[in-house]
């Protein structure tokens, strides 16, 4: 009886409960806006551009207490969260309309600009990050939606991109709603939501380091309400070093640019950034420890790049001998890449743009991509976060992969005449057409 009653209520209220959500004709955003259509979830990832308030269910203007009247029943979780937040506990509570607006038909999802109304310093710091180029939190959204593969790849394969790249368009990536807790964002878990996985195993690196070990053992007892300043924490977490004193400009010490291309650690710009690192490390370590650490990191990077360039040369030689199969002429380019259509060419290495051409390539190119993007970045992340053993593990993997690529290259060279076709990933046809039409 009870179940039937519930079902009846649901059936009757169904149109009322249904989220009006995204306009079915909504266009994408960014450089390739015409070529992809956002999913309903995208209004959460990029609310500034894609959120459409529902206009069907409730009409009228509501002040704070009135919102709570209904929402403590309709959405009790967020009300409970909000009640424990500083927004609720101050003398003059920051009520719902402050961020969402009063008019129920024009409600908004707050973005950084909304939060910046009261936290202008933090917003300014985040905006300032745009001055530093990539990689960047503040530019992450454009970076994702503007890349060719975002518009070209099958929808299902790019569904998860914006989940992390939305760090640019909303603050609750790190300070989850509706508590928006600074202490939460000071803990490494806040960063690890995104900074994990093959191209940036920051979590593995941090937990393998002495800093991370200390955090694991003792973190539960630390007072996370303290600001990220000298003397407040026995060991640093991500935010301590990368967001010193709560600085929301996270790129001001970014020397290595994720390790995907070789950089000059001694360039004028990078020497200045290094000095900033030295100051940060000196919160706990004597200055020469930091210097010694930089030297080791430099040496590790030099060695890795020597190895990577050797493989890059090997692949380029295969390319000039026409041994990559399927070749660029045989496989479809990105549908929207007109240049690649006119001049099909296998892209190898960072400077030819391989980072954005990592799928639908021959097996050996993909092997190189994994060597470079996954194992190399792991080796770098390990070394940069003080996890030497982890770095060595990744170096071992690099060695194995290099060996495998060499063997494969020799095999390809051995096949005179009849080129044995490696299994092509996908070819121009129904599949690519489908992607083009349904993204």
Partner 1 sequence: MNHAIADHATGSVPTGRARARHRLIPVRLMPANRQRSQAGHYAWWVRALAMFAYGWAFLGWLNDAWLFQFGNPLWLNRYTEPVIILAFGLWRIRAEKNPYTRKRLLILVTNVTVLWWLIPWAWPFIEPHMGYLAGLPAFPSLHTPGTVTFLLVLGGVFLFGRRVICGWNCPCVGIRETVCFAFRHADPVPRSDRAWRLRHIKWIGFALYLGAIWAVTRPANNITTGYLGFFAMIVVLPYFAIMLLSPWIGNRDYCRFLCPYGATFGLLNKVGMFRIDYDAKKCIQCGKCAKVCDMNIPVWQMGLANQGRAGSIPPNAWGVAAASPNVPATAWPSTTCATCCNPACGRTGPIRNVARTGIKLPCAGVSPAISF
Least distance (Å) from partner 1 to the CB of residue 356? Answer: 9
Strand partners, 61: 103
Choices 68-76, 94-102, 170-178, 260-268 (CB under 8 A): range interacting with partner 1: 260-268
Least distance (Å) from partner 1 to the CB of residue 134? Answer: 6
Choices 102-110, 125-133, 204-212, 277-285 (CB under 8 A): range interacting with partner 1: 125-133
Residue selected from 96, 126, 139, 297 as contacting partner 1 according to rule CB under 8 A: 139
Residue selected from 266, 317, 407, 415 as contacting partner 1 according to rule CB under 8 A: 266
Q: Does 313 bind partner 1 (CB under 8 A)?
A: no
Q: Considering only CA atoms, which of 182, 175, 178, 173 is closest in space to residue 72?
A: 178
Q: Does 130 bind partner 1 (CB under 8 A)?
A: yes
Strand partners, 103: 61
Residue selected from 77, 133, 227, 399 as contacting partner 1 according to rule CB under 8 A: 133
d(CA 61, CA 205): 50
- By CB under 8 A, the count of residues binding partner 1 is 26
Q: What is the DSSP letter of 61?
A: B
Choices 70-78, 172-180, 258-266, 360-368 (CB under 8 A): range interacting with partner 1: 258-266
- C-alpha pair distances (Å), 409 with each of 319, 402, 403, 406: 11, 10, 10, 5
Q: Considering only CA atoms, which of 196, 197, 241 is closest in space to residue 215?
A: 241
Choices 99-107, 223-231, 263-271, 421-429 (CB under 8 A): range interacting with partner 1: 263-271
Q: Does 426 bind partner 1 (CB under 8 A)?
A: no
At 82, give phi and psi (nearest 5°). -60, -40
Least distance (Å) from partner 1 to the CB of residue 360? Answer: 20
- Burial letters for 386-405: b for 16+ Cβ neighbours within 10 Å, e otherwise? bbeebbebbbebbeebbeeb
The pattern of x and - marking residues 7 through 46 that bind partner 1 according to CB under 8 A reads ------------------------x---------------
Host H or E run for residue 394: helix 388-414
Q: Considering only CA atoms, which of 213, 216, 288, 273 is closest in space to residue 242?
A: 273
Give contact residues for partner 1 (rule: CB under 8 A).
Answer: 31, 130-134, 136, 138-139, 142-143, 146-147, 262-264, 266-269, 271-273, 275, 298, 302
């Amino acid at each position: 009886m009870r179940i039937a009653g519930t079902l009846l209520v649901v059936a009757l209220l169904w149109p009322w409960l249904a989220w009006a959500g995204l306009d079915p004709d909504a266009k994408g955003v960014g450089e390739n806006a015409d070529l992809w259509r956002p999913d309903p979830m995208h209004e959460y990832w990029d609310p500034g551009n894609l959120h459409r308030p529902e206009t069907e269910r409730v009409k009228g203007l509501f002040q704070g207490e009135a919102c709570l009247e209904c929402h403590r029943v309709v959405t009790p979780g967020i009300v409970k969260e909000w009640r424990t937040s500083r927004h609720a506990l101050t003398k003059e509570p920051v009520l719902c309309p402050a961020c969402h607006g009063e008019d129920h038909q024009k409600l908004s999802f707050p973005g950084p600009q909304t939060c910046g109304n009261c936290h202008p310093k933090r917003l300014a710091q985040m905006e300032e990050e745009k001055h530093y180029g990539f990689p960047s939190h503040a530019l992450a959204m454009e970076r994702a939606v503007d890349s060719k593969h975002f518009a070209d790849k099958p929808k299902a394969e790019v569904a998860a991109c914006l989940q992390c790249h939305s760090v640019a368009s909303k603050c609750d990536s790190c300070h989850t709603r509706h508590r928006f807790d600074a202490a939460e964002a000071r803990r490494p878990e806040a960063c690890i939501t995104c900074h994990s996985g093959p191209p940036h195993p920051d979590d593995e690196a941090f937990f393998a380091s002495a800093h991370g070990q200390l955090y694991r053992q003792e973190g539960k007892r630390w007072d996370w309400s303290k600001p990220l300043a000298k003397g407040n924490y026995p060991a640093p977490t991500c935010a301590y070093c990368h967001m010193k004193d709560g600085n929301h400009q996270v790129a001001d010490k970014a020397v290595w640019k994720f390790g995907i291309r070789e950089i000059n650690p001694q360039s004028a710009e990078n020497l200045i950034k290094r000095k900033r690192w030295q100051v940060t490390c000196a919160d706990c370590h004597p200055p020469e420890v930091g210097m010694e650490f930089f030297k080791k990191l430099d040496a590790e990077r030099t060695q890795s790049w020597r190895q990577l360039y050797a493989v890059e040369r090997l692949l380029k030689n295969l390319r000039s001998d026409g041994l990559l199969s399927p070749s660029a002429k045989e496989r479809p380019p990105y549908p929207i890449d007109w240049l690649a259509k006119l001049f099909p060419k296998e892209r190898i290495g960072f400077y030819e743009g391989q980072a954005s051409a990592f799928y639908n390539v021959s097996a050996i190119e993909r092997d190189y991509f994994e060597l470079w993007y996954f194992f190399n970045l792991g080796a770098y992340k390990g070394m940069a976060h003080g996890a030497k053993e982890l770095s060595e593990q990744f170096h071992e993997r690099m060695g194995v992969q290099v060996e495998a690529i060499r063997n494969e290259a020799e095999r390809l060279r051995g096949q005179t005449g009849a080129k044995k076709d490696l299994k092509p990933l996908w070819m121009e046809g129904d599949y690519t057409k489908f992607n083009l039409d349904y993204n």
